[in-house]
Structure formats: structure tokens, C-alpha cells
Amino acid sequence: MGKHLVLVGGGHAHMVTLANLHTFVEKGHRVTVIGPSAFHYYSGMGPGMLGQTYTPEEIRFATQRVVENKAGTFILGKAVSVDADEETVRLESGEAIPYDIISFNAGSYVPRLNLEENVRDVYAVKPIERLMQAQEKILELVNQKKITVGILGGGPSSAEIAGNLWQLTSDAGANRPDIKIFAGKRFMARFPENVKNRVEKSLSNRGIEVLTNGYVQSIGDHRIVLETGREYALDFIFLAMGVIPNPIFGNANLPTGPDGGLRVNEFLQSTEYPDIFGGGDCIYFQKQPLDKVGVYAVRQNPVLYHNLMARLEGEPLQAFDPGGDYLLIFNLGGGQGVLQKGRIIFGGKPAFFIKDYIDRKFMRKFQAIEN
């Protein structure tokens, strides 16, 4: 008798499973995919979409269409809690979905800091749909007046948003916005000095200011206050302080890591519940904590697919090997980038060209299974 496989999220770590979803059905299993949107947007191309290098259609994967074309069931909804003992996942609507095997690729979100009530024009960089809304609002504002945009966060996300915001508004003339990155006390702190310097120089050459004079204490309506008490008036604010895993696991009393991610073993399997799996930003890999970068989700793809099928069929599981150094490229807008792979570091147009080629190839591969 077949079993019921439930996938929560259609992100990078589930792409191979989705592409081969029909293989589960052919073996007599039912597959249900739960997602908050009919589409999954590739976050690595999100800043480029903000800068209009890409259209929204170019950076998204039609999750619902693929699932239904491959004889699965797609539920448009948000999973908010799991009862591992009862083997059910509960949706925001209150509906409870039973499962035999479940896998999470539920992603991450940007924490909202201390927002006062009734604040306006504050946008997190994730989910990507918020960047689409932010793009529309910024273009509306720069058509009216000169504005100041603040980007809160000291990592690569803030750098990519700043550079692509500069690109988006490059035709605004006298109304081109002032762009300020509020990076806390150090910008690009976890990267080599050479990478930091290249990113900072690329931004400063275009008039983008990086401030390292203190962390943001609170966010008000069109203003922020630093821990030093200094206040800045801002017309528009991006939240780019890094991401933390989906809070669903904290609501489920499942074993989690220090960041709140689902704690998994070398098989990408819950350390306590063998019928629960996960990948991407929402997990904490117990053997070796992993950076929140898409490359690990991509590497987890075939392992998750194998292990979900193996668990359903009673076959041996396969261990996940995170691999060595990964290629990291930042899209800084204006056709500029910075690339790092181990000790290899360079910037400019060649770096962006390589990222653009890799990203477009990745999207073409998985968009090809939509039809």
C-alpha cells in the first residue's frame, strides 16, 4: 500500500524531488506539496530583479503547475506547526494535513527588529515578492522627489540591494536617491578583507554610503534610531540583516539548532523523528553548521530525493557531503560583481557575467520541467 509524502515548500532543495515527483506516484505513493505561492522565486536573482536586470518571470519556478502536471496535489497555504507524534502538519487556515514522510524546504525570513506601530515604507528583502512591491514603490517616489533610502544590514544582501537600487534609479536624474547602508559596526565582517574592500569600493564609486557607527536600535515612521541615540530621517527602508530559519519548528517542539532550524543528521533527517527530513535555509546540519547560501540547497537536492524515496520504500539512506569551498558571487548592480572561490578573488564585469550565466542556466534547467 502506498504512503503519503508531504513536501513543505518548493525551494532549491526540493527541485530534483519535484522534477521526479512522478516517480513517487508511479510507485503508488501520494505526494502533496504545500506552498505559500504558486511560484518559487530564486532569491539569488532577487536583487537583479529589483534592478530590472531580470523580470519576475525569469526568476521564478511554477511550483503548482509542475506538481499538478506530475499527478501530485498542491495546497496553497502556509504551514505553521507540526505534530511529529500525530504525524500531521497544520496550516495557517487551521487545516491539518496527515503524512507518512515529510520534508521541509520552508526557507528563511528577515527579522523585523523593533518596529514601532504604523511604520510605512519598510520592506524586508525576503520573500522576493516584497522586492517586487518595493521596486514599484521606489519608482513612484523618485518620480515625485529626491529621497533617501536606508538599507539595514552589514552583509552581502545589503550590498546587492544597494547596488541594484542604484541601477534601478539610474535614470532618475536629479531625483536619484541617496543610498545609505547601516552596517552596524563592521561591513561584510565574515568575508576576507580583499572581498570587503572590492565590494565597498564598487559601492562608494557610485555614491553609496556605508555607515559603521552603530547598530539600529529602533525603526519608526520614516526614521531609524541607532543605539548611540543618533537618528536618521529616511524615506524608504530595506531590512537586510541576514536571515533566520522559518519559525515552524519552534512551534512543533522538534529538535532544533541554535538558530532555530530543524536539527538534521547526515541523512538530512530529523535527529529524533526518522520520517521528517529537510534542506536549505530552514535546517541546522548537526555534523557541520552550514552558511545560509543556496549552493548547499542545490547540493542537497539529489540526496533529499534519494532519501525520501528510500524511506518510503524501506531502502538504505544516503549521507549528504557538504563538499568543499563554494563559488560565491555578488551582483552589485550596474553590471558589476565580486567573485570569491577560495583564494581566487576578482571583481567587475567578468564576475557579474559569470554569475549571470550560472543563474540563467540554473533557471532554464528547472523551468524546462514546467511544461
Encoded amino acid at 207, one letter? G
Compute how many other C-beta atoms are within 10 angstroms of the C-beta atom of residue 316.
8
Q: Mind listing the pLDDT tens digit of every residue in the chain (371 residues)?
A: 789 999 999 888 999 999 999 999 999 999 999 999 999 999 899 999 999 999 999 999 999 999 999 999 999 999 989 999 999 999 999 999 999 999 999 876 666 555 666 678 888 888 888 899 999 999 999 999 999 999 999 999 999 999 999 999 998 888 999 999 999 999 999 899 999 999 999 999 999 999 999 999 888 889 999 999 999 999 999 999 866 667 788 767 789 888 888 999 999 999 999 999 999 888 999 998 888 777 888 899 999 999 999 999 999 999 999 888 889 999 999 999 999 998 999 999 999 999 999 999 999 988 988 87
**What confidence score (pLDDT) does residue 314 get?**
94
Cβ pair 259, 111 in contact under 8 A: no
Provide CB contacts within 8 A for 60, sequence distance 6+.
39, 40, 41, 42
**What confidence score (pLDDT) does residue 321 get?**
93
Provide CB contacts within 8 A for 177, sequence distance 6+.
138, 141, 142, 146, 147, 148, 149, 165, 169, 235, 236
217's enclosing H/E stretch is: strand 216-220
Give the CA dihedral 332, 335, 340, 343, nearest 10 degrees. -120
Alpha helix positions (H), the chain: 15-19, 21-26, 46-50, 63-69, 128-142, 156-168, 193-204, 294-313, 349-367
- Taking CB atoms within 8 Å and a gap of at least 24, the contacts of 317-321 are 317/267, 317/269, 318/267, 319/266, 319/267, 320/266, 320/267, 320/268, 320/285
Provide CB contacts within 8 A for 199, sequence distance 6+.
156, 159, 187, 188, 191, 330, 332, 338, 347
Do domains 4-36+77-109+243-324 and 122-242 share one topology? The answer is: yes
Three-state secondary structure call for residue 97: strand
Is cis: bond before 47, omega within 30 of 0?
no
Q: How far is CA 121 from CA 73, 118, 135, 170, 274, in A?
A: 37, 10, 11, 21, 44
**What confidence score (pLDDT) does residue 244 get?**
66
Helices (H) and strands (E) in the chain, counts: 9, 25
**What confidence score (pLDDT) does residue 298 get?**
87
Three-state secondary structure call for residue 25: helix
Q: Cα(59)–Cα(61) distance, rounded to whole angstroms?
A: 7
**What confidence score (pLDDT) does residue 141 get?**
95
Domain boundaries, the chain: 4-36+77-109+243-324, 122-242
**What confidence score (pLDDT) does residue 31 get?**
97
Q: Which CATH architecture has domain 122-242?
A: 3-Layer(bba) Sandwich (3.50)
Lookup result for grid cell 548611540:
228
CA atoms 70, 71, 72, 76: torsion sign: positive
Task: Name the fold adopted by 4-36+77-109+243-324.
Answer: FAD/NAD(P)-binding domain (3.50.50)
